[in-house]
């Protein structure tokens, strides 16, 4: 039987080197051996993703590698997440996420979604090419704290501004996160957003930083 | 000295002959809302109608004094011809370009591009409409240059199969990706030559899916650059290479493609350090692009003065013509865009690094 440390290492290494089968096996073994699922997620999967973020920032990894790492991470998360008790960092908050109408690209959106999934948020993924009103309706229905939107094309970006206006009018406390290739800091500011990620890659870097902060938070709780 | 016509200006420009003033034009998508409103067209109706395509392009150029018309406007033509359905958003009041909501090939091993697709793509709907539109433009607006464009093979691949699968397959199924890219490259060569035969005065090869924030420079060098070179080499007429996204790490490799293929110019989007690129490529390179297509002409908050400053910055970045960083967004503010054109023509009347003045 593998030790806890060996399982954590197998999870971490599997994510870094996009070994999906290794991650699944280690995740299942961790559950079978009675280890804490949240610890496996945070110190195994998320720790691996943190290294992936460093590799990305050093330009050793690019988006294809990160996508494969994300596949491995999800392989483990699907096994571990159902075993995280609610009071033990289960659902911490809610986010509505989607690519804006007119945009059928969703790589960046899916990478940001991964960050929320790891963090244990309840994610309402509206998919892509989402009509503007749908973001507002879903936020109202779920009372989500965060709405995250992405657009990969300049031509669809303006829709975000309309959504922000509609949501903020109804609920000014909702945090809005924007992402996508044409979205700059200036644009996010002009549109009245609360945060932004400029590209799929940047979304990864930002998302991973958030995962790191979450790990720190979990450590402090212990 | 008589003023050159727009087409004379653009042709001389690509031939590196002195021109009368700074060219203000584009080779990427350019259809402007004020122009189609004047024509009484609805945005979704212009994309698959050769006449509307032509007149919307002409009016956009004439209304704002651009040197070129660009045909077509959206990026779904080839994918549609290969059997995908497109969404035109006919019920939307917003400016939404056509998209491909669902792709018929879910996995790479399902992709089947036949010799007929490659050799006879221009006979298939809707590709057959583009030469028709080009011919109308040439007849109706002979004073304007006409730019056509094609997506590069990697981006085109992403228009036909989900991009994340293509990206992952670069590692997992490299040979399969190479085979598919080769077929797309053959198809793109045929399309480009058909557009030139129909009357395009120049053509732009756009490969936005390979920027350095997506793919590694090594992958660009090994997988992408040889195919871009092959395509550009096979096309006649003046030709431009454009890559969207982060290009600073790719500048020299892009320029190598331009030189090896006999292309005339290189174009960058907003995420490029123009002065650094000029330093790397020298004064012989015709450099285009880089101005912000949202902030300067479209953003509600951008004043005319700020739009003018943006164009001055672009010219100070040592471009050889004022040409946008990407597709021009249709919802421009006319006062901003007109001021941008005027500034482009008047700000620095002397020669640019690669092109002289009459």
* Domain C-terminal end among A88, A121, A156: A88
Are the C-beta atoms of residues A35 and A80 closer than 8 Å to each other?
no
Q: Are residues A36 and A10 in the same domain?
A: yes
- Cβ of B295 within 8 Å of Cβ of A186? The answer is yes
Contacts with A59 from chain B: Cβ below 8 Å: 216, 249
Residue B59 has what pLDDT? Answer: 98
B250-273 pLDDT per residue, tens = 999 999 999 999 999 999 999 899
Q: What secondary structure does DSSP assign to B87-146, as a single string? A: B--TT-SS----B-SS-S--SGGG----HHHHHSGGGSTTTTHHHHHHHHHHHH-TTSEE
Nearest to B294 among A62, A63, A182 (CB): A182
For residue A181, give its domain range: 94-203
- Residue A39, φ and ψ in degrees, nearest 5: -65, -40
Question: How far does chain B reach from its first CA to its final CA, in angstroms?
Answer: 8
CATH number for position A102? 3.40.50.280
Q: In angstroms, how far is the first alpha carbon of chain A from the final one?
A: 26
pLDDT of the residue at A109 = 86
- Does A209 map to a domain? no
Per-residue buried b or exposed e for B71-91, using 16+ beta carbons within 10 Å of the residue's own CB: bbbbbbbbbbbbebebbbbee
Q: Quick one: average pLDDT of B297-325? A: 96
> How high is the mean pLDDT of chain B?
95
A66 and A144 belong to one structural domain: no
- Contact check, Cβ <8 Å, B167/A153: no
CB of B214 closer than 8 Å to CB of B167: yes
Reduced to 3 states, what is the DSSP secondary structure of residue A125? strand
Residues A42 and A142 in one domain: no
- pLDDT the model gives residue B323: 98
For residues B169 and B108, the answer to whether their CB atoms sit within 8 Å is yes
Q: Is A218 a member of any domain?
A: no
Please say if the pLDDT value at position B84 is more than 80: yes
Residue A197 has a pLDDT of 66
Same domain, A159 and A186: yes
Q: Are A118 and A73 in contact (CB under 8 A)?
A: yes
Q: How many domains does chain A have?
A: 2
Instruction: Count CA atoms within 13 Å of residue A46 on its CB side.
Output: 28
Domain co-membership, A65 together with A106? no
On whether both A151 and A195 belong to a single domain, the answer is: yes
Is A196 in the same domain as A104?
Answer: yes
Give the helix ranges, DSSP H, for chain B. 6-14, 33-39, 50-63, 77-81, 115-119, 129-140, 153-158, 163-172, 174-198, 217-219, 225-234, 251-261, 274-281, 304-316, 334-346
Q: Residue A210 falls within a domain, yes or no?
A: no
Assess whether A22 and A52 both reside in one domain: yes
Q: What is the pLDDT of residue A108?
A: 80
Domain contains A219? no
Note whether B98 contacts A: Cβ–Cβ < 8 A. no
Segment B312-338, tens digit of pLDDT: 999 999 999 999 999 999 999 999 999
Boundary residue ending a domain (A70, A88, A106): A88
**Residue A105 and residue A72 in one domain:** no
What per-residue confidence (pLDDT) applies to B78?
A: 97
Q: Report the pLDDT value the prediction gives residue A206, as an integer from 0 to 100.
A: 62
| Residue tagged 């691996």 (tokens) | A48
Tell me the CATH number of domain B6-346, given options 3.20.10.10, 3.20.20.210, 3.30.70.1380, 3.10.20.340: 3.20.20.210
pLDDT at A216: 66
Return the pLDDT at A192.
78
Domain extent listing, chain B: 6-346
- Give residue for tokens 């997992």: B172
Does B167 reach chain A within 8 Å, measured CB to CB? yes
Q: Which residue has the higher pLDDT, A90 or B224?
A: B224
Query: Based on the domain organization, do A80 and A117 belong to the same domain?
Result: no
Is residue B206 scored above 80 in pLDDT? yes
Last residue of a domain, one of A24, A59, A88: A88
Q: Does B115 touch chain A (CB under 8 A)?
A: no
Chain A contact set for B243 (CB, 8 A): none
pLDDT digits (tens, 9 = 90+) for B152-183: 999 999 999 998 899 999 999 999 999 999 99
Please judge whether A201 and B301 are an interchain contact, meaning their C-beta atoms are less than 8 angstroms apart: no
Residues in chain A: 222
Question: Looking at the structure, do residues A124 and A178 belong to the same domain, yes or no?
Answer: yes
CATH number of the domain that residue A54 is part of: 1.10.1240.10
pLDDT on residue A186: 73
Q: Are residues A173 and A109 in the same domain?
A: yes
Asked if residues B141 and B133 have their Cβ atoms less than 8 Å apart, the reply is: no
Check residue B276 and give its pLDDT: 97
Q: Which of these ranges, A125-139, B48-62, B164-178, B202-216, has the smallest mean pLDDT?
A: B202-216
Instruction: Tell me the average confidence (pLDDT) per consecutive run of 10 residues in chain A, 222 residues long.
Output: 95 97 98 96 92 88 92 96 75 85 85 84 92 94 89 76 90 83 72 69 58 62 61
Residues B332, B335, B337, B341: what is their CA dihedral angle, to the nearest 10 degrees?
170
pLDDT in tens, A28-75: 999 999 999 999 999 999 999 989 988 988 889 998 999 999 999 999
């Amino acid at each position: 039987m593998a030790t806890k440390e060996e399982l954590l290492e197998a999870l971490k290494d599997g994510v870094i080197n996009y070994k999906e089968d290794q991650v699944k096996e280690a995740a299942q073994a961790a559950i079978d051996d009675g280890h804490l699922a949240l610890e496996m997620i945070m110190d195994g999967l998320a720790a691996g993703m943190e290294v992936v973020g460093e590799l990305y920032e050093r330009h050793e990894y690019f988006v294809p590698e990160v996508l494969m790492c994300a596949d491995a991470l999800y392989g483990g998360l699907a096994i571990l997440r159902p075993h995280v008790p609610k009071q033990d960092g289960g659902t911490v908050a809610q986010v509505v996420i989607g690519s804006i109408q007119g945009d059928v690209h969703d790589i960046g959106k899916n990478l940001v979604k991964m960050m929320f999934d790891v963090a244990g948020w309840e994610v309402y993924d509206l998919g892509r090419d989402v009509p503007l009103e749908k973001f507002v309706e879903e936020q109202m229905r779920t009372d989500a704290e965060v709405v995250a939107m992405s657009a990969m094309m300049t031509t669809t970006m303006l829709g975000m501004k309309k959504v922000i206006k509609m949501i903020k009018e109804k609920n000014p406390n909702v945090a809005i996160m924007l992402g996508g290739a044409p979205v700059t800091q200036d644009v996010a500011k002009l549109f009245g957003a609360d945060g932004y990620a400029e590209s799929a890659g940047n979304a990864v870097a930002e998302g991973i930083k958030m995962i790191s902060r979450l790990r720190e938070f979990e450590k402090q709780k212990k | 000295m008589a003023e050159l016509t727009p087409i004379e200006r653009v042709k001389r420009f690509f031939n590196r002959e002195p021109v009368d003033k700074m060219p203000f034009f584009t080779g990427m998508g350019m259809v402007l809302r004020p122009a189609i409103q004047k024509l009484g067209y609805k945005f979704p109706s212009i994309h698959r109608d050769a006449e509307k395509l032509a007149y919307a392009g002409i009016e956009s150029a004439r209304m704002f004094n651009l040197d070129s018309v660009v045909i077509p406007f959206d990026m779904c033509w080839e994918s549609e011809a290969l059997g995908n359905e497109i969404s035109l958003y006919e019920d939307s009041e917003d400016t939404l370009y056509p998209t491909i909501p669902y792709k018929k090939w879910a996995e790479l091993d399902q992709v089947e591009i036949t010799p007929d697709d490659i050799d006879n793509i221009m006979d298939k709907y809707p590709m057959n409409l583009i030469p028709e539109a080009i011919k109308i433009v040439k007849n109706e607006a002979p004073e304007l240059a006409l730019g056509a464009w094609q997506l590069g093979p990697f981006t085109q691949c992403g228009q036909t199969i989900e991009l994340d699968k293509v990206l992952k397959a670069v590692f997992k199924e490299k040979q399969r990706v190479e085979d598919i890219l080769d077929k797309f490259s053959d198809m793109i060569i045929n399309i480009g030559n058909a557009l030139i035969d129909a009357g395009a005065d120049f053509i732009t090869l756009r490969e936005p899916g390979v920027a350095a924030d997506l793919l590694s420079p090594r992958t660009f060098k090994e997988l992408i650059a040889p195919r871009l070179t092959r395509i550009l080499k096979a096309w006649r007429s003046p030709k431009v290479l454009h890559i969207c996204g982060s290009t600073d790490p790719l500048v020299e490799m892009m320029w190598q493609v331009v030189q090896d293929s006999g292309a005339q110019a290189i174009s960058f989007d907003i995420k490029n350090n123009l002065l650094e690129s000029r330093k790397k490529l020298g004064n012989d390179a015709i450099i285009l692009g880089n101005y912000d297509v949202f902030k300067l002409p479209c953003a509600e908050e951008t004043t005319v003065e700020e739009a003018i400053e943006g164009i001055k910055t672009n010219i100070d970045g040592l471009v050889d013509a004022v040409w946008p960083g990407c597709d021009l967004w249709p919802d421009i503010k006319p006062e901003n865009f007109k001021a941008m054109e005027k500034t482009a023509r008047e700000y620095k009347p002397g020669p640019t690094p690669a092109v002289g003045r009459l």
